Amino acid sequence: MNVLFYLSSAIAIAATIMVITRYKPIHALLYLVVSFMAVAMIFLSLGAPFVAVLEIILYAGAIIVLMIFVVMMLNLGSETAQQEKEWLLPKVWLGPSILSLVLLGEIIYLLLRSGTGNASFIFIDSKKVALSLYGEYIIAVELTGFLLMAGIVGAAHIGKHKKKHLHRFLQEEEVSTKIEVRSTKPEDEKQTKPVAYKP
């Protein structure tokens, strides 16, 4: 099993590196699928087949597909790739990468310092997970339901075509400026006026 784990870990890391270095979104997404599948293999090697399957179905399936849809809808192609290419220069990525490496070093140091050696492998089947999920975590499941609901409604609401709205406080401020003599300069008022965007 260890062989499987190390192999899939290597694939996962390599694929992820590819993800974050691609210029074209669609390439990155394809590497992401590879990365997710490799992680699913790691799950399997850790004795968690249920989540391994879920990883494939949901991450590599649903979420990636969503993203691909969006990429297609927005028609992100060579133009975006060009933009990214111009952007991704060493002076841009070097600093953050070094910082991230420092973080990684710290984490690894901490992990190794508190290391407790090998642990025995315990297989946890989906039944156990299900009992726990609908037993002690039932409230959390409910809340997750709410979250998904809110996600759906939010996505539907945000994704709608609509005009820009002005908050009612800002509207009231405009009314009051007509009544009283304002001390602020008139230029300020122009900024608060609504600029309707027409697609």
Partner 1 sequence: MNNLLALIPALPLAGFLILSLTGRHLPKSIIAGIGAGSVSAAALITIFIGMQFLQSPPTGNAYTQTLWQWMQTENFSAGIDLRMDALTLVFVFIITFVGALIHIYSTAFMRHDRDYARFFASMNLFVCSMLLLVMADNLVLMYLGWEGVGLCSFLLIGFWYETPANVAAANKAFYITRIGDTAMAIGLFLLFRELGTLNIPEIMTQAPAHFQPGASNVTWIALLLLAGGMGKSAQLPLQTWLPDAMAGPSPVSALIHAATMVTAGVYLIARMHVVFQLSPVAMAATAAIGAITLFVAGCSAMAQTDIKRILAYSTISQIGYMFLALGVGAWSAGIFHFFTHAFFKALLFLAAGAVIESLHHEHNIFRMGGLKDRMPVVFWTFLAGAAALAALPLISAGFYSKDQILWYAWSAQNGNPMLWLVAIAGALITAFYTTRLMIVVFWGDMKTHIGERPGKAMTIPLMILAVLSIVAGFIEWPHNLVHLSLFSDLVQRYLPETLLQEGHPPEIIFQLVAAAVTLLGVYAGYVLYYKNTSILEQWKASPAMLSLRNFFYKGWGFDDLYDTVFVRPFYFLTRINKSDVFDLLNKGIATTSQRLNEWFSFSQNGSLRWYVVGVLIGIIFVLGLQIWG
Partner 2 sequence: MILAWMIIILMAGGLICWLLARWNKEVVKWVALLAVLLDLILACSIWWQHGGVPTSGANAWLIDYKAAWVPTYGISFHMAADGLSLVMLLLTYFLGTLSVLCSWNEVKGRIGFYYFNLLFTLTGISGVFVALDLFLFYFFWEVMLVPMFFLIAIWGDSNRRYAAYKFFIFTQAGGLLMLISILALYFIASAQNGAFSFDYTDLLGTTMQASTARWIMLGFLLAFVIKLPMVPFHNWLPDAHSEAPTAGSLILAGLLLKTGAYGIIRFVLPLFPQVTADVAWWAMLLGVVGIIYGALLAFAQTDIKRLIAYTSVSHMGFVLVGIFAFREMAMQGVVMQMVTHGISTGALFVLAGMLKERLHTRDIGRMGGLWTSMPAMGGVAMLFTMASLGLPFLGNFIAEFLILMGSFGSNVVITVLATLGLVFSALYSLRLLQKVFLGQPSSHISLPDLSMREMLIMASLTIAIVLLGLYPQPVMNLVSPVIKGMEKSVSFEMNNHQSVISIP
Partner 3 sequence: MPFNPQAVLIVAAILFVLGLVGVLTRKNIIFILVSVEIMLNAAGLAFVAAGARWGQPDGQVMFLFILAMAASEVSVGLALVMQTHRQHKTLDVQELRELRDKTEEYSSI
- In the list partner 3, partner 2, partner 1, none, the entry touching 154 (Cβ below 5 to 8 angstroms by class) is partner 3
The helix-helix angle for 64-73 and 25-45 (nearest 10°) equals 180
**Nearer of residues 75 and 114 to partner 1, judged by Cβ:** 114
Residue with tokens 């075509």: 161
Binding site for partner 1 (CB under 8 A): 96, 99-100, 102-103, 106-107, 109-110, 113
Q: How far apart are CA 33 and CA 72, in angstroms?
A: 17
Q: How far is the CB of 191 from partner 2 (least distance, A)?
A: 17
By CB under 8 A, the residues from 10 to 69 that bind partner 3 are: 12-13, 16-17, 19-20, 25, 28-29, 32, 35-36, 39, 42-43, 45-48, 50-51, 54-55, 58-59, 62-63, 66-67
Q: How far is the CB of 166 from partner 2 (least distance, A)?
A: 20
Q: How far is the CB of 179 from partner 2 (least distance, A)?
A: 4
**Nearer of residues 120 and 191 to partner 1, judged by Cβ:** 191
**What long-range pairs does 164-168 form, CB within 8 A, spacing at least 24?**
164/194, 164/195, 164/196, 164/197, 166/194
Task: Report the largest interatomic distance among the alpha carbons of the chain, rounded to a whole angstrom.
Answer: 79
By CB under 8 A, the residues from 142 to 181 that bind partner 2 are: 176, 179-181
Contact (CB, 8 A) for 8 and 41: yes
User: What sign does the dihedral 28-34-37-38 (CA atoms) show?
Assistant: negative
